[in-house]
Amino acid sequence: MEVYRYSKSELRQGALRQRKSCSKKFVFLRSLLISKKLANFLRLKNVKNVVSYNPINNEVHPNFLISNDVNVFFTKINAQTLRIARSKSFKRGKFSVLEPFCGTYAFKKQIECFIVPALAFDKRGYRIGYGMGFYDKLLQNSKALKIGVGFDFQVKNFNIKEDKFDVSLDYIITEKRILKCRR
């Protein structure tokens, strides 16, 4: 498989432009399909504590069908890292992301699964995000399952150049498939 010839910045800009061009209907309908696959997958893996996210910029909405039996935590930007909190109240935080307003914080070792957004993925599980490294810092040294969710067009047929701090995912779930990542 060939390595992408352009910089991460160029790939990031193109991927964001492509995703932003999707209609609200496209995002909603495919998010429902992805959420259903994700909920079934979590049930099969018997996951009880999961970290998810609130979407921005036409990201997949992963939380539609997650069971009430699952404790869903969300990320909150704290300086240069992400904290994990469970809350029913949200407010706009940094980058206009809905973040837990108050609630219970969790330790990374309590989490069994991380649901991660991206602008692009490769089949090895490496991803392009917004370039701040928040998720890579959060996922580092975690034994939890790492699942990327995105639209099928976000899975690229080339290897994304990874840096030493990049953390690869275990699975990618799209509206068309569940991809076990090859490292």
Q: In this structure, what CATH number is given to the domain that contains residue 29?
A: 3.40.50.10420
Distance of CA 164 to the CA centre of its chain: 20
Interval 84-89 mean pLDDT: 85
Which residues contribute to the annotated binding site for substrate?
A: 59
Q: What is the pLDDT of residues 102-160, one digit of tens each?
A: 778 788 889 999 999 999 999 999 999 988 888 888 899 999 999 999 999 999 988 88
Residue with the larger pLDDT of the pair 26 and 64: 26
CA-angle at 160, arms to 159 and 164, nearest 5°: 115
User: Which residue's entry shows tokens 């219970």?
Assistant: 104
Q: Residue 39: which of 28, 52, 29 has the closest Cα?
A: 52
pTM of the model: 0.92
Instruction: Characterize the bridge pairing of strands 90-92 and 98-100.
Output: antiparallel
Which residues contribute to the annotated binding site for ATP?
A: 8-12, 127-135
Please tell me the total count of domains within the chain.
Answer: 1
Asked whether residue 114 is domain-assigned, the answer is: yes
Asked whether residue 3 is domain-assigned, the answer is: no
Sign of the alpha-carbon dihedral angle for 54, 57, 60, 64: positive
Count Cα neighbours of 167 within 13 Å in the Cβ-side half-sphere: 20
Which residues contribute to the annotated binding site?
A: 8-12, 59, 127-135
Asked whether residue 1 is domain-assigned, the answer is: no
Spell out the alpha helix ranges (H) of the chain: 8-20, 24-44, 134-139
CB neighbours (10 Å) of residue 141? 9
Asked whether residue 62 is domain-assigned, the answer is: yes
- Name the residue range of residue 171's domain: 8-180
